[in-house]
Structure 1
Amino acid sequence: MIGRNRMLLSVISVAVALALALTLVLILDDEASPPPLPDPEADLSSFIDGFASSLSAEQDYRPPGAGERRTAAAGFAALLDAAPTAAADLGKLGFAVRDGMDRQTGRPYTVAVNESGSERSWGMYLIDRSAPPSLAVEVPHPASDLKTESFGLDYFRRVPGAVLLIAGAHRKADDGRADVAHEVDSVFHVVATTLGGRGLPQVQLHGFDDQNLPDDDIVLSSGATVAGPPARRAADRLEAAGLGVCRAWASSCGALEGTKNVQGKAAAKDGTVFLHVEMSRTVRESGIAKVIQALVEADLRAP
């Protein structure tokens, strides 16, 4: 009888151990992959190209809830201020945070990247640490608006203190709810409004097909905000570079004027600068250097 009881206990112990092991496997399998982070020695261009190439209209995505958006606001405010709590706060949302040195510019940066293979595809945020935050460079449609993520990085590298925002999902994911330029319930919008609330001008980069506006290379708009001196300086510099510019505040530029852009609407409420830059396919393929130089010369940074 004792031997039989021992055997029964042994069988039960093995069953419990197997159940625990299976539970652990299921939990680990349910977790998303660790967030991709650039190797400290790697080039940021390759890292961002890889990030954008992984996006597709079929990828997983869900908008963050109200509590998650509050956590994002607090976490990114802490990140901007280099507070020690930032990594832990953002880690609750699946972000990984790392400091590095850009090999091309020699300037320090901090990057926060969403986890991969997860519905929490909430973006990449890159802060130049060589100067106080001065300009938000925004890429709401990576992969979809061809090369805008590469353009964003190039522009970021030319402006000390710039902050680069790249959405974490294709704009068509989740039946279009991942289009952060038109959705206020996104981490991208939280970060953009956090920066705008601190007085940083925002330059948002988009692309259009040549046939949609064949007579112009660039559509420049201030979205829902009033076109002030920064927008007019940018238009003048772009035209001086030999680019055809449609100024949305002076003439009709079709459906490319960005007046419904939610970051632009928030900037209008805050009274801060918002510049919506639509570039033709041709410009994005062969004229990016001219656009970047013109925007740098326009000096859109916060005073």
Structure 2
Amino acid sequence: MSPDPTKKITAPANLSRTAVLLALLVAAVAVVVPALDRSRTDGPNPGPAPTDGPAAGLERRLSTYASEVVADSRFSPPDRAEREALAEGVALYVDGEREKAASRLADVDFGVRVVRDGPGRRYAEIADRGDETRRGWGRVYIDLDTTPRYSVQVPHPVADAYSDRLGTGVLRAAPGGILIVAGAHRRAGEGDAADVAHRRDTVFHAITVELVARRIPSIQVHGFADSSVPGRDVVVSTGAGTVARPQGRTMADALEDDGFRVCRAWVDKCPLEGRNNKQGRLAAAEDVPFLHVEVSRAVRGDASRTARAVAAMAKAVREWDVRG
């Protein structure tokens, strides 16, 4: 029996159509992945977090969280009741009301565990008790050995590659810290819903509202592509306010003394000054100190330079008295 001529024509046509669709899919993935996480591949990689030694515990934990949870997380916008429950739970923990805090946090399926970072260093980790990639609301770490006196905020731990290491470094270097880390890529939600530095309807912002109410100063760390601010390593700003200017000067001086090229937003016209940052505007409205720090990709991509930048930030943060 002769082969069916229709089949001879149809099969190659179907294969050709499938090949075209597969090629388009591969091309789409190639475009979308770098767009979502370009800063992870646009420069040198500082390497994995330490696996032993004094820096291993917290830094490794946060580095793994950024790369394995935040990078893959979806973002489900919290409603007002959820935001308030989580923020109140964190505030109660900061106030020393730990049993009440645990109960309030449980209302939104968050829990508390104690994590260690080297001999004698303990932090409370407040995190989602379920799959953290489901909602992308983030984590909070609270120093258990010193009265809380400042917060360090990491709003873009993946989009600003390795900024989680800046935040962790400050927390470890300056006692009395509260570390707030966003739980999803800034583009994970619909529109800018997950861009916590520019939204007031997020868990991240709700927590900062409670801390500002307690007059706790804050430093917020970001990263920029080297081409965004040519000739500069760090941009130091006090955002929309001015009350943190003494600490801004301390930080800028320390950075420059160590060879960093710094743009001081209160002296020069700097890109990325963070004047529209929602947490900064909140702090400015209440005269609570706020520092907005942008660090170049070249610095964030070098472990030694990152450590030196963190030392300058910690020097400034240590000037803040307990609760202002």
Same topology, TM > 0.5 = yes
User: Are 1:223 and 1:275, in contact at CA under 8 Å, matched by a contact in 2?
Assistant: yes
1:72 has 2:90 as partner = no
C-alpha separation in 1, matches of 2:109 and 2:133? 9
- Structure 1 length-normalised TM: 0.81
1:249 has 2:263 as partner = no
| Letter of the 2:103 counterpart | A
Name the counterpart of 1:11: none
User: Are 1:199 and 1:272, in contact at CA under 8 Å, matched by a contact in 2?
Assistant: yes
Query: Once the 2 structures are TM-superposed, how far is the Cα of residue 61 of structure 1 from its aligned partner?
Result: 1.1
Name the counterpart of 1:62: 76
User: Are 1:57 and 1:172, in contact at CA under 8 Å, matched by a contact in 2?
Assistant: no
**Once superposed, which parts of structure 1, at least 4 consecutive aligned residues long, lie more than 3 Å away?**
55-59
C-alpha separation in 1, matches of 2:177 and 2:275? 24
Name the counterpart of 2:101: 86
Unaligned runs of 5+ in 2: 1-55
Name the counterpart of 1:292: 310
Name the counterpart of 1:238: 255
User: Are 1:223 and 1:257, in contact at CA under 8 Å, matched by a contact in 2?
Assistant: yes
User: Are 2:72 and 2:133, in contact at CA under 8 Å, matched by a contact in 1?
Assistant: no
User: Are 2:70 and 2:184, in contact at CA under 8 Å, matched by a contact in 1?
Assistant: yes
Q: Secondary structure at the match of 1:234?
A: helix
Identity of aligned residues (%): 40
- State the Cα deviation string for residues 200-243 of structure 1 (Å, max 9, x = none): 21110000011111111001111111152111222122111111
User: Are 2:149 and 2:216, in contact at CA under 8 Å, matched by a contact in 1?
Assistant: yes
| Letter of the 1:301 counterpart | W
Count of residue pairs brought into register by the alignment: 260
1:168 has 2:186 as partner = no
**Range that drifts further, 209-218 or 53-62:** 53-62
Name the counterpart of 1:157: 172
C-alpha separation in 2, matches of 1:121 and 1:179? 11
Name the counterpart of 1:193: 209
| Letter of the 1:77 counterpart | A
User: Are 2:70 and 2:157, in contact at CA under 8 Å, matched by a contact in 1?
Assistant: no
Q: Secondary structure at the match of 1:239?
A: helix
Distance 1:293 1:46, change over 3 A: closer
1:262 to 278, 291, 301: 278
- Structure 2 length-normalised TM: 0.76
User: Are 1:217 and 1:244, in contact at CA under 8 Å, matched by a contact in 2?
Assistant: yes
C-alpha separation in 1, matches of 2:131 and 2:140? 15
Unaligned runs of 5+ in 1: 1-41
C-alpha separation in 1, matches of 2:112 and 2:71? 26
C-alpha separation in 2, matches of 1:65 and 1:234? 37
Distance 1:225 1:109, change over 3 A: same
Query: Once the 2 structures are TM-superposed, how far is the Cα of residue 118 of structure 1 from its aligned partner?
Result: 4.8
User: Are 2:73 and 2:135, in contact at CA under 8 Å, matched by a contact in 1?
Assistant: no
Name the counterpart of 1:33: none
Distance 1:300 1:283, change over 3 A: farther
User: Are 1:223 and 1:261, in contact at CA under 8 Å, matched by a contact in 2?
Assistant: yes
1:112 has 2:129 as partner = no
